[in-house]
Structure 1
Amino acid sequence: MSIRKVPTHQTYAELQQAYDHFNNALFDGGLPNCLITLQREKRSMGYFSSQRFVDAQGTYTDEIAMNPAYFAVVPLIETMQTLVHEMCHLWQFHFGKPGRGRYHNEEWASKMEAIGLMPSSTGQPGGARTGQLMADYAIEDGKFVKACADLLTQSFCLTWYDRFSHADAPRSAAERLDISVGGGAPPYIALPALTQALASSATSTSNGAQGDESLPVKPTGNSNRWKYVCPCGTSVWGKPKLKIICGSCESPFTSPDAARLSTNSESA
């Protein structure tokens, strides 16, 4: 008798497993539980909202929202990086003094660095350490990288991915560490079935299938450019049908746009 898959149970159990793992590894198990949700906030991989939910007994809990639009198109380490970034906001709300509004202050920046994530306004070395809109990158040999490697050795994965959300994700310097940590390629490249499903999603939508039109396959205004990605996770945009090789891993870039065209021509 086959076990029935329950996507809701699988998805939220996996996110809770990651939360518990990083809570123990990076915060000494001191963070309270929160409600993890999936939200498609444009141009945001996640956010933290304090005391966002309340139960029938009047007990409050915080929210950490993760954007599923990016799960398929960034390496797993970057999705985990987003989760830990928001966990650091949760830590500051309960044990520190958050900045006003969305401001990421020095206390938050110091905690981020202590757990192995370097705050950066650009997501790259040299960016501002504090500010309104902040990204980060993983510190080589830092606590986060080691904790992420431990999680991935437990056969951890995200089971479900959004077919219609092939978004252009903000990139970070974490991609340099993907191979050493594991799960170096974005899932839509590393998993053949997912590659095919994403490649065919544009065709399904054009044939009348219901998709999320607010999350286009290509960025608006760049219809004459393709996205190219190498196995180490590096991505670039360029003219159609380019043949390029990654300077970091010396592997050829592949393009999901080319895969979509190939699928369309084969089905024509």
Structure 2
Amino acid sequence: MKPTTETYAELTWAYDAFNKMLFDGELPNCLITLQREKHTCGYFSSGRFANVEGKLTDEIAINPSYFGVTPIIEIMQTLVHEMVHLWQFHFGTPGRGRYHNKEWADKMEAIGLMPSSTGRPGGKKTGDRIADYAIENGLFLQVCKDLLTNSFKLSWYDRYPDVRVANSGQSSLACQLEDMPESATSIRANQPNSQVQIQVALTKNIQSDSKSKPTRVKYTCECGINIWAKPGIHVKCGECNSEFVGAES
């Protein structure tokens, strides 16, 4: 199978399974895309795409940077998180902008995901930036036990994820889940033959010799008058008629 077909077939399989088991099959089809949005695991965009016949469809975007360094159950949480946004758009009342309101939070809990601003117990359930974690013995985990067996996988993954993404995966609560298939809670980067190469962002210090070049320099004339001006200028003092000498000279 071709990588594009394989990847989207797997994500569509997961979408259909969650739609059937968590939403009673009510959700319309949508276009799932892979997007590397910084600091974002995924997003929902209503009516984002149109076809040549004028029909519209929603978009659910998933960030593939997480595929190799995050438990697959976390990827599924992201997918279902966005599916709840899709459900609310069609059957509820979405909050303004990116706001996750109480209706959205209540639906998340009803299907087995606890909304949390920290992604951990104790976080706020509503707000602009809300993550989630799986509720023990909740409906979401029950569906995952059937779906995330060795027969289901995300075959392709990003080999060069950012170190921040990798760190978030290592600290995921999904790694600690019990009574789940190993394939659901393990991390690809930790497995034998993994080709994941974590990328570390380096901050480059731009310097000139031992110090940065100044944008303004202090100049002094023979009578002691000081001025500040850009480096390399030539100017004379109107009092003593001597040329101002800069600190760089």
Confirm or deny a common fold (TM above 0.5): yes
Cα pair distance change 1:28/1:167, threshold 3 Å: farther
State, as a whole percentage, how many aligned pairs show the same letter.
60
User: What aligned pairs does 1:182-193 form with structure 2 within 5 A after superposition?
Assistant: 182-183=182-183, 184-190=185-191, 192-193=192-193
Task: Give per-residue Cα distances to partners, 1:194-215, cap 9 Å, x unaligned.
Answer: x2x224xxxxxxxxxxxxxxxx
- Decide which of 20, 26, 30 is 1:30's aligned counterpart: 26
- Equivalent AA in structure 1 for residue 189 of structure 2: Y
Given that 1:104 and 1:134 are in contact with CA atoms closer than 8 Å, whether structure 2 keeps it comes out as: yes
1:61 match: 57
Task: Give per-residue Cα distances to partners, 1:191-242, cap 9 Å, x unaligned.
Answer: x22x2x224xxxxxxxxxxxxxxxx712556xxxxxxxxxxxxxxxxxxxxx
Is 1:217 equivalent to 2:218 in the alignment? no
Cα pair distance change 1:181/1:139, threshold 3 Å: farther
SS at match of 1:198: coil
SS at match of 1:162: coil
The separation in 2 between residues aligned to 1:218 and 1:121, in whole angstroms, is: 26
SS at match of 2:115: strand
Cα pair distance change 1:136/1:80, threshold 3 Å: same
Task: Give per-residue Cα distances to partners, 1:60-85, cap 9 Å, x unaligned.
Answer: 00000000001000000000010000
Task: Give per-residue Cα distances to partners, 1:85-104, cap 9 Å, x unaligned.
Answer: 00000000000000000000
2:104 match: 108
Is 1:158 equivalent to 2:140 in the alignment? no
Given that 1:109 and 1:119 are in contact with CA atoms closer than 8 Å, whether structure 2 keeps it comes out as: yes
The separation in 1 between residues aligned to 2:128 and 2:162, in whole angstroms, is: 27
- Equivalent AA in structure 1 for residue 177 of structure 2: L
Segments of structure 1 that go 5 or more residues without pairing to the other structure are 200-215, 222-268
User: What aligned pairs does 1:117-266 form with structure 2 within 5 A after superposition?
Assistant: 117-153=113-149, 155-169=151-165, 170=168, 171-177=171-177, 180-183=180-183, 184-190=185-191, 192-193=192-193, 195=194, 197-199=195-197, 217-220=199-202
Q: Find the structure with the greater CA-based Rg.
A: 2
The separation in 2 between residues aligned to 1:74 and 1:179, in whole angstroms, is: 18
SS at match of 1:180: coil
Given that 2:149 and 2:181 are in contact with CA atoms closer than 8 Å, whether structure 1 keeps it comes out as: no
Given that 2:41 and 2:78 are in contact with CA atoms closer than 8 Å, whether structure 1 keeps it comes out as: yes
Segments of structure 2 that go 5 or more residues without pairing to the other structure are 204-249
1:172 offset after TM fit, Å?
4.2
1:164 offset after TM fit, Å?
1.5
Given that 1:72 and 1:166 are in contact with CA atoms closer than 8 Å, whether structure 2 keeps it comes out as: no
Instruction: Give the aligned CA root-mean-square deviation in angstroms.
Output: 1.6
1:179 offset after TM fit, Å?
6.0
The separation in 2 between residues aligned to 1:56 and 1:95, in whole angstroms, is: 26
Given that 1:166 and 1:198 are in contact with CA atoms closer than 8 Å, whether structure 2 keeps it comes out as: no
Given that 1:70 and 1:167 are in contact with CA atoms closer than 8 Å, whether structure 2 keeps it comes out as: no
1:187 offset after TM fit, Å?
1.1
1:174 offset after TM fit, Å?
3.0
The separation in 2 between residues aligned to 1:220 and 1:123, in whole angstroms, is: 27
